[in-house]
Amino acid sequence: MLQTEVVQLEERVQRLIAAYRQERLEKKRALQERDRLLALNAELKRRIEGVVERIRQLESDPNG
C-alpha cells in the first residue's frame, strides 16, 4: 500500500513538473510576442509621425 502511494506521488510530481515547464514555455512565448508587438507598435508610431510631419509641411508650404 505504501509503495502504491509513493508511485502515485511520483506520478503527480512528474505531472506537476511537466505543467510547470509548459507554463514557463508559454510565458516565454507570451513575452516574446509582447516584445514583437511593442516593436511593431513603435515602428508604426514612427511611420505615422512621419506622415503627419509631411502633411504639416505640405499644409504650411506657401507654394502648395
Residues 8-62 pLDDT 10s: 999 999 999 999 999 999 999 999 999 999 999 999 999 999 999 999 999 998 7
Query: Could you tell me if residue 3 is inside a domain?
Result: no
Query: Could you tell me if residue 25 is inside a domain?
Result: no
Q: How many domains does the chain have?
A: 1
Residue the block writes with cell 510631419: 53
Query: Could you tell me if residue 14 is inside a domain?
Result: no
Query: Could you tell me if residue 58 is inside a domain?
Result: yes
Residues 6+ apart with CB under 8 A from 58: 64
Q: pTM for this one? A: 0.70
Cell readout for 26 is 508559454
Query: Could you tell me if residue 22 is inside a domain?
Result: no
Supply the range of the domain harboring residue 48: 32-64
